[in-house]
Amino acid sequence: MNVRAHMSMLFHLDKCIGCHTCSIACKNLWTDRKGAEYMWWNNVETRPGAGYPTQWEDQEHFHGGWVYDGNGDGKPGKLRLRLQSRAGGLAKLFFNPDLPSLEDYYEPFTFRYGDLFNAPEGDDQPTAIPISQVTGRPLDIESGPNWDDDLGGSPLYAASDPNRRNLSPEVQEALSEVERVVFNYLPRICNHCLNPACVAACPSGAIYKRVEDGIVLVNENKCRGWRMCVAACPYKKVFYNWSTGKSEKCILCFPRMETGQAPACAHSCVGRIRYMGVLLYDADRIEAAAAVPDDRLLDAYMDTILDPFDPEVIAGARANGIDDGWIAAAQKSPVYKFAKVWKIALPLHLEYRTMAMMFYIPPLSPVMSTLENALTRLDINTEVEDFELLERLDAARLPVQYLANLFSVGDEQVIRRILRKMYAVRLYMRRKTVEGVMDDATLALLAGAGCTPEEAEAIYQLTTLPHVNDRFVLPPYHREMAVETWKDPLAHKGEVGIGYIQPPKRGD
């Protein structure tokens, strides 16, 4: 066991209101400068929808992430970058057809605000026309980073969502009906993956994963601008700065965290949907966990995350130089509670096999609107006992299979289990706090969802009433600890292996 610590973020999607404050906070702090105009290290997508860059999830087109060739024949398989081997990458050094184009992102623009003040007197109100930040000329805007905002369920945008691929024809058809339009929001940052394709694809060894907290960074002094990382990242969360000729990406606001502050996106989040916490994981299990058939992927991934209360894990952490303050933070981590203890949070698109370390609680709200309508028509006491009501998840406006394609490698049962639990907690708390009564049927519903009353209270507390210190459990950073772990990095296993590249030397 090789115990390491990781800073992770969790997004409670039921709470996201799609205000984009997070994106603006990040933009103002990190990418409000030349060459970075089109970059959104944090963006918020409306789903179903095409996302940013457009259809980034279409790996047949963009060739991001890893491919496992052991699906199906029962034999152990191997992992390889979908993009190419490192040798194959040399052939694409000067022209890489897998890179997203400016059209896939959008042509960045600003407005000629001066017109508002300086336009000559006339009959019309002056307007600020849009100006391209590439050419400086007036622009007829045709796309943007949140172009399909709030219209994700419309036939136009939902139709191009790659996650619709294996929905039944009936569901596809239903999603195309305007009266069934439904959407939710999906905020995204770099996932600071355990098996990052961006790191493996970089010919210059410029991208590395910090051993002390797992943050994936670009060493700009080493970056030669080959952009293999941009193509290899299946989440399209590395960006090329045309002005500096270097790649850039989300840095999880490490300068803020090192001074005890949450990342700007999390700190500014209006819906308070974001949680930050430490996870302890076993670095020795990563390679094996990423190379299992799809149906075992989620379990293998979750097994890499360790119990911070286990004495053996604590001893392993200390042996690797992990500070007791970090171990204590891992024990209080809200990410650990949601993901491992309560089992209601999942990573995004685990099938890319980069082992994403950001977590999402799937949205329940569109389901609830259907269920609650049903509740008013049914005799709850007789119907809920056998979960007949919850079988109506199949009739939910946001298809369970769609959520499974996003969060559980297509496994609907995982999503069903999570939604049932969240629904049971909501019903239990409503009975208790609003109606002031508790009946056997509700308790049976809770038990059937695998939840105790104590757990329901804890989930409710952390979901709806958390103090800021409950949402952001930040560990004490010690620079001397970083130096210590740098002396003993994990082995980098070469071409397409899973590994950690040496961080830059001081002064590099």
Which residues of this chain interact with ligand SF4, rule CB under 6 A? 16-22, 44, 185, 187, 190-193, 196-198, 216, 233, 235, 237-238, 249, 269-271, 273, 354
What angle separates helix 412-429 from helix 453-464, to the nearest 10 degrees? Answer: 90
d(CA 376, CA 366): 16
Smaller CB distance to ligand SF4: residue 153 or 196?
Answer: 196
H-assigned helices in 218-263:
228-232, 254-257
Query: If we measure between CA atoms, which residue out of 437, 190, 476, 192 comes closest to residue 322?
Result: 476
Q: Min. distance of Cβ 448 from ligand SF4 in angstroms?
A: 32
Smaller CB distance to ligand SF4: residue 252 or 280?
Answer: 252
d(CA 386, CA 374): 15
d(CA 114, CA 334): 47
Long-range contacts of 249-253, Cβ-Cβ distance < 8 Å, separation of 24 or more: 249/41, 249/190, 249/198, 249/216, 249/217, 249/218, 250/26, 250/41, 250/42, 250/189, 250/190, 250/192, 251/30, 251/215, 251/217, 252/7, 252/9, 252/189, 252/190, 252/192, 252/213, 252/215, 253/29
Smaller CB distance to ligand SF4: residue 216 or 404?
Answer: 216
Q: Min. distance of Cβ 330 from ligand SF4 in angstroms?
A: 21
Smaller CB distance to ligand SF4: residue 106 or 235?
Answer: 235
Long-range contacts of 378-381, Cβ-Cβ distance < 8 Å, separation of 24 or more: 380/441, 381/439, 381/441
Q: Min. distance of Cβ 141 from ligand SF4 in angstroms?
A: 21
Smaller CB distance to ligand SF4: residue 92 or 272?
Answer: 272
Smaller CB distance to ligand SF4: residue 50 or 202?
Answer: 202
What angle separates helix 400-407 from helix 412-429, to the nearest 10 degrees? Answer: 110
Looking at the DSSP bridge assignments, the partners of residue 218 are: 207
Q: Min. distance of Cβ 284 from ligand SF4 in angstroms?
A: 20
Q: Min. distance of Cβ 381 from ligand SF4 in angstroms?
A: 36
Smaller CB distance to ligand SF4: residue 238 or 389?
Answer: 238
Q: Min. distance of Cβ 197 from ligand SF4 in angstroms?
A: 5
Show the tokens assigned to 269. Answer: 């989040």
Smaller CB distance to ligand SF4: residue 92 or 417?
Answer: 92
Q: Min. distance of Cβ 232 from ligand SF4 in angstroms?
A: 7
Q: Min. distance of Cβ 231 from ligand SF4 in angstroms?
A: 11
